[in-house]
Structure 1
Amino acid sequence: MGSKWKKVKMALVSNLCVYVPKADADDSPPHSDGFSDAALLSPAPAAWSMSGSATRPASPSLRLSKSFNRSSKTCTICLASMKRGEGQAIFTAECSHSFHFQCIASNVKHGNQICPVCRAKWKEVPLQGSTGSGPPLGRTRINPVNWSQDNPVMTLLRPIPPRPNSPRHAAAPVFPVPEPTVFNDDEPLDLKFSNRTSSDSCSLKRVSVKTYTEVPAVPRFSAAADFTVLIHLKAPVSNSGPTVSQANRIPRAPVDLVTVLDISGSMAGTKLALLKRAMGFVIQNLGPADRLAVIAFSSTARRLFSLRKMSDMGKQHALQAVNSLVANGGTNIAEGLRKGGKVMEDRREKNPVSSVILLSDGQDTYTVTSGPNPGGGQNRSNYQLLLPQSIHGGEGGSGIKIPVHAFGFGSDHDASSMHSISEISGGTFSFIETESVIQDAFAQCIGGLLSVVVKGAQVILESVNPNVLLGSLKAGSYKNYLMADGKSGCIDVGDLYADEERDFLVSVNIPTELTSSNKTSLLKVRCHYTDPLTKETVNLESEVVGINRPENLGPEVGVSIEVDRQKNRLQAAEAMVQARTAAEEGDLAQAMGTLEKCRRILAETVSAKSGDRLCAALDAELKEMQERMASRHMYEASGRAYILSGLSSHSWQRATARGDSTDGSSLVQSYQTPSMVEMLTRSQASLLGSPSAQRPIRPVWSFASQPKPR
């Protein structure tokens, strides 16, 4: 036996996995430092025979499997290092990919026998079991599915003691059993982040408010019935980016985030693997003051873990919970959202920013029923059933109104339902056409959520001239009001990300100027909001909006590019609504004609002729929508979702994932903030380091089918 143990030691030193025959008591080798704590023994090949108390290979020669040298030095589940000497067991699968033993054992424990990296189905899986009378964490083993856990062939060479103060060995259950009826077990907030004063954000600039009139002057003795004024808001610039020094960095507002994830049977395989990777990216980029809860739903829904801070230990438990998910069952979006809303509603404490991320690749088969709604194929009232009042705020707005950022995945999801869910709650709808952009889509979303600098912004408009009345407010999906007397109005803007911009159009009448005044005052614009860090209310008041009133206009008077650009955006959005209505009624020719007519009108505008980037992007987007309406099949597979994602982006003036790209479209870029771009850069850099996540490069505005990533 001495020669056999010599071969074993040589193999282990060379990073080889070997079969070790059961040794007699007198052949036990002495303890040697040459044995690595991280070295696991591979299961016996099928050719080995199992008889008697000893196990012998059918062939006299040892079978060696050299795999560790080809494996990654980072565990793809927890993204932590797998260097030797760290006191952690490493499992190397037959597909050559390696993981921390405890990470992959948690995965397998809940029925997942597929490699998280290459999706290969394993014949041999790692199991973690008891060592007789010893503690369960003192020794680990790997067993084929049908072998006894007490088989001595599968036992490690020596126990691996848990490292003190290591979150990886903390004994916390991934799935609480039973699930509580009230989710008031959220982890307490970090007081150092919640007790901010105004001095903490003294260097943070305030919201900028600017106004533009469609033309700079109107003749004194003329009147205009529908004169347009543009209200432009710009949120403060972020001071927490990578180029800002640590001394000048301002803490951002912590976030409470609930992700509601579809794990129905249709998500099996590559979809679920890429979703896990995307969630891993989200978890790793949350800060220690941010809190996360994950809801997984199929036929039913379950909270994987309570709303807890993303400390090192919190991240570790979150990663283990997400990577234990297995796809099966139906699609009950309503139950998933109900549970997500309950987490938000029952929490004892609240971070300044709250949001829900919903991802699904299917249609809710439990709640929504078909109905004769020409604009969307189903009754809007049915979509209300998918949202608990804690999220949509109820008819009277008495709920807490948590925005749901919905991500429709693939060609089979219910885009109308997902869009309505986001619209009712105040969130955005993104269309993920290509599997490989899930992580980028999530990255763009959380890049915004982790940079909120304005809470509850409201714009108030007041006429300052007894002869001037407000005619209409064009604010997209933002709730707005006009008083019956036409003298004042209000727009609820809500939250703003750092560097984010908003544009609203208000129409007024211009009266004849009977006096000799060279200027007529029109409006007064005020804005107030809450600083999410200090809870301080900020009140802003702009200058009074006026219009020059010369007796005669000179040749130099021209149309404002800023106002014309926003008119084009709203006109394009209206054309999308009309085209979608026609398409839902079955008239694709009319839908394509509506979009083509809008493109011709936009091409003749002042801003388009001046080379405005937004107008060029609008034209390209309308053209893409036309192409996705070439046939009924194409419209059902991607056209509807693409249009709804575009409408969501324009109505909220916020970036959404569109089709197979989050960064190839200049239109998408026009709504992206620096924080979103930074998070996207991180995501793409992380994907470049993973051969399994390489994404196909496709030309902008093209939607030809591409092979699935390996």
Structure 2
Amino acid sequence: MALAWERARRALATRLCIRFPARHVAIQDVPRELDDVEAPLPEVEEQEERRSGSRSSAKICAICLGGMRSGHGQALFTAECCHKFHFHCISSNVQHGNKVCPICRAIWKELPFHGPLIADVAAQGTATANPSDWPQGRLPRADTVNRQDHFPVFRTPESEIFNDDEQINLQSETTVGGGHDGDGIPSSVEIVTYTEFPAIKESVAQKNFTILIHLKAPHAPASVSSRAPLDLVTVLDVSGSMAGTKLALLKRAMSFVIQSLGPSDRLSVIAFSSCAWRLFPLRKMTAFGRQQSLQAVGSLVANGGTNIADGLRKAARVMEDRQARNPVCSIILLSDGVDTYIVTPTQGAPPDYEPLVPRSILPGSGHHVQVHAFGFGADHDSAAMHSIAEMSGGTFSFIDEVGTIQDAFAQCIGGLLSVVAQETRLSIECADEGVLLTSIKSGGYANEVAGDGRGGFVDVGDLYADEERDFLVTVRVPVAPGDTALILPSCTYRDAVTTETVRVEGDRVTVPRPAGPVSAAMSPQVEREWHRVHATEDMAAARAAAEDNDFARAASILESRRRALESLASLSSDPQTLALVAELREMQDRAESRQRYEESGRAYILAGLSSHSWQRATARGDSTELTGLVHTYQTPSMVDMLHRSQALLPEVVEALNRSPTVAPSRSPAADPASQRRSLARAFRPTKSFNGRSS
């Protein structure tokens, strides 16, 4: 009974946020009327955890000491230090002036509040920074964004199910007929083929005769209203290392994303540091939705650790639990650090990154969502970000210079807003008897050759407007007189706008079989693709050598491939080959020493591997430095969005020049590329004593 009285006394003290000195309670000190007091307290070890400042039990509110379970009519509040409380308990505490965590004594910057949410506050005029006053929705200066008096954060308690997405009506949101070109003729995926050689001598059998199958997606719809709407979740790192200019530039990049989405697109933002929280559910980007979203993003502050896994878990829940679904969906992840909660280094073995990605969004799960990962700065875990992208079928981009973050986002958004084909599958069927399919080179795309060798397929997935894919297939060709029919390619996909299934039959691939001599000149298209495939394999080999600390061998592998390409007279003027040479030279330079490799070489090579594996544009390093292949996979929609982003550069420079935290070049005569490089150099992170960027 004495123990019960002591528990009750301490519960009252905690509720009033006062401290009593510990003392032993004698039996005679306890009033008889408290004999029957029941205190639903946690176990003794959980009490010790609370006293020592460690994580408390997720089932007990540390203020009222009552149970906490979601879905039982009690709102819960998760603080930025990841401790949970009943919302009414902690908001009462805050109203009495207590702005520190009752458990770990962390000073809170985000406070619970019994009152209107942030959107309502803006409507009432009580917030001094209103997104509607910013030109084109741009965020305010970096030195005012983080001030608590400008952007108080009222984080609402989260439910266990994220089914509060804003409703949509797909029939009214999209215009049927967007899959036709300007002449009213249906636009579909194009299939073009090239044989390795123009002919095969009739008396010669070929074990591995190469055929290049080229796919090109339809053009973008003529009007914005006729494209497929997008559901987008952005997962943003707001850990302590993002403080200052990096967070300000991230907010500006998110402002550009918000302004680029249409009223039929929906956006949800997940922020994470030591834990993750959802700023708002999937919301349509109408004028009002944009204003609310801009204000929510503007309220972000940087502190805490890096919990990538928790951010992705919440993003996956948003996608899984949504009541309505736009035809296109994607997750964008940005982080500048290393996950310190899930990934644990292992002696002599690479870390296991699988726990970072929820199984529910992986291919084959029924809710597959691609994660496009962006590694930000020199201190991010590029191996983890690349693995996240690869597992989900997305791309990995490396943002070397922090000033280019908006361009990197713009390129990605330009593609996502132009998806025209989904669930695309390329099928290959052998034609004449004796012709057998022996292999398919498809990069990161899953492929399969039938057991009898008479066919196969490649799962291509989504295609952006005007996007192209090249696949090399090899067949065994028997001795035969006359022409030999090799394969019959076909393609099926779902139109992203009409949701109708489309099947396209390619032309039968036939090779002449003359009795006399044949030309030995290889098709330039096939030759170029073979060199790209071999170069990609060498990039992977160089990365493996560098991971084994053999940097001389890594540089040698890249140099050998580069010199081989430079010696090709047939491709000496081919722009894609020239760009591949420049890319290999850049990789070689970044892999020559441990310091260069750790700083940027690993991330640069991984971003290149991601781009070539999926044949899709990624940002890597300072993309203004290289031309050609770095941009080969860009589509017209990506280029258009990138130009829109770059047009805002002078405004960004002017706004950040006013910030006391940075001093980029102010030369008015500099061209946009030079301005961008100067801006990026001014924002290059410096090392702090703990090894993180500051």
TM over 0.5, yes or no?
A: yes
SS of aligned partner of 1:650:
helix
User: For residues 468-617 of structure 1, what are the structure 2 equivalents within 5 Å?
Assistant: 468-513=435-480, 515=481, 517=482, 519-554=483-518, 558-605=521-568, 607-609=570-572, 611-617=573-579
SS of aligned partner of 1:341:
helix
The residue number in structure 2 matching 1:398 is: 365
The residue number in structure 1 matching 2:37 is: none
User: For residues 251-262 of structure 1, what are the structure 2 equivalents within 5 Å?
Assistant: 251-262=226-237
The residue number in structure 2 matching 1:366 is: 341
The residue number in structure 1 matching 2:251 is: 276
Paired with 1:182 and 1:120, the residues of 2 have a C-alpha distance of 35
Aligned-pair CA distance for 1:122:
9.1
Aligned-pair CA distance for 1:444:
0.3
Aligned-pair CA distance for 1:200:
6.7
**Contact 1:235-1:497 at 8 Å conserved across structures:** yes
Identity of aligned residues (%): 52
User: For residues 450-465 of structure 1, what are the structure 2 equivalents within 5 Å?
Assistant: 450-465=417-432
Paired with 2:174 and 2:252, the residues of 1 have a C-alpha distance of 34
**Contact 1:253-1:450 at 8 Å conserved across structures:** yes
Paired with 2:151 and 2:606, the residues of 1 have a C-alpha distance of 46
The 1:682–1:633 alpha-carbon spacing in structure 2 relative to 1, beyond 3 Å, is same
Paired with 1:278 and 1:527, the residues of 2 have a C-alpha distance of 37
The residue number in structure 1 matching 2:634 is: 672
The 1:479–1:583 alpha-carbon spacing in structure 2 relative to 1, beyond 3 Å, is same
The residue number in structure 2 matching 1:389 is: 359
- Within the alignment, does 1:651 sit opposite 2:675 as a pair? no
Aligned-pair CA distance for 1:398:
2.8
**Contact 2:176-2:226 at 8 Å conserved across structures:** no
The residue number in structure 2 matching 1:439 is: 406
Paired with 1:665 and 1:495, the residues of 2 have a C-alpha distance of 26
The 1:194–1:121 alpha-carbon spacing in structure 2 relative to 1, beyond 3 Å, is closer
**Contact 2:131-2:294 at 8 Å conserved across structures:** no
Aligned-pair CA distance for 1:90:
10
What RMSD, in angstroms, separates the aligned Cα atoms of the two structures?
Answer: 3.0
The 1:572–1:127 alpha-carbon spacing in structure 2 relative to 1, beyond 3 Å, is closer
- Within the alignment, does 1:685 sit opposite 2:647 as a pair? yes
User: For residues 286-435 of structure 1, what are the structure 2 equivalents within 5 Å?
Assistant: 286-371=261-346, 378-379=350-351, 382-393=352-363, 397-435=364-402
Paired with 1:316 and 1:592, the residues of 2 have a C-alpha distance of 50
Q: Deviations over 1:54-101 (max 9, x none)?
A: xxxxxxxxxxxxxxxxxxxxxxx99xxxxxxx997996xxxxxxx549
SS of aligned partner of 1:617:
helix
Paired with 1:455 and 1:127, the residues of 2 have a C-alpha distance of 41
User: For residues 44-63 of structure 1, what are the structure 2 equivalents within 5 Å?
Assistant: none
- Within the alignment, does 1:207 sit opposite 2:170 as a pair? no
The residue number in structure 1 matching 2:202 is: 220
The residue number in structure 2 matching 1:265 is: 240
The residue number in structure 2 matching 1:660 is: 622
Aligned length: 545
The residue number in structure 1 matching 2:590 is: 628
**Contact 1:175-1:321 at 8 Å conserved across structures:** no
Aligned-pair CA distance for 1:213:
0.5
Paired with 1:649 and 1:127, the residues of 2 have a C-alpha distance of 39
Paired with 1:578 and 1:353, the residues of 2 have a C-alpha distance of 35
Paired with 1:235 and 1:646, the residues of 2 have a C-alpha distance of 23
Paired with 2:494 and 2:625, the residues of 1 have a C-alpha distance of 31
**Contact 1:415-1:640 at 8 Å conserved across structures:** yes
- Give the gaps of 5 or more residues in structure 1: 1-76, 79-85, 92-98, 105-114, 129-173, 241-245
TM-score calculated relative to the size of structure 2: 0.74
Paired with 1:121 and 1:356, the residues of 2 have a C-alpha distance of 25
Paired with 1:360 and 1:565, the residues of 2 have a C-alpha distance of 35
Aligned-pair CA distance for 1:603:
2.4
Aligned-pair CA distance for 1:239:
3.4
Q: Deviations over 1:36-67 (max 9, x none)?
A: xxxxxxxxxxxxxxxxxxxxxxxxxxxxxxxx
The one-letter amino acid paired with 1:392 is: L
User: For residues 97-136 of structure 1, what are the structure 2 equivalents within 5 Å?
Assistant: 99-100=129-130, 116-119=140-143, 125-126=149-150
The one-letter amino acid paired with 2:189 is: V
The one-letter amino acid paired with 2:580 is: L
The 1:200–1:421 alpha-carbon spacing in structure 2 relative to 1, beyond 3 Å, is closer
Aligned-pair CA distance for 1:552:
1.7
The 1:449–1:693 alpha-carbon spacing in structure 2 relative to 1, beyond 3 Å, is farther
Paired with 2:154 and 2:127, the residues of 1 have a C-alpha distance of 24
Paired with 1:440 and 1:573, the residues of 2 have a C-alpha distance of 25
Aligned-pair CA distance for 1:327:
0.3
The one-letter amino acid paired with 2:590 is: R
Paired with 2:612 and 2:438, the residues of 1 have a C-alpha distance of 22
**Contact 2:238-2:271 at 8 Å conserved across structures:** yes
Aligned-pair CA distance for 1:665:
2.6
Paired with 2:382 and 2:172, the residues of 1 have a C-alpha distance of 38
The 1:262–1:124 alpha-carbon spacing in structure 2 relative to 1, beyond 3 Å, is closer
The 1:123–1:420 alpha-carbon spacing in structure 2 relative to 1, beyond 3 Å, is closer
User: For residues 30-49 of structure 1, what are the structure 2 equivalents within 5 Å?
Assistant: none
- Give the gaps of 5 or more residues in structure 2: 1-117, 658-663, 666-671, 686-694
Paired with 2:191 and 2:179, the residues of 1 have a C-alpha distance of 23
The one-letter amino acid paired with 1:267 is: M
Paired with 2:391 and 2:606, the residues of 1 have a C-alpha distance of 14
TM-score calculated relative to the size of structure 1: 0.72
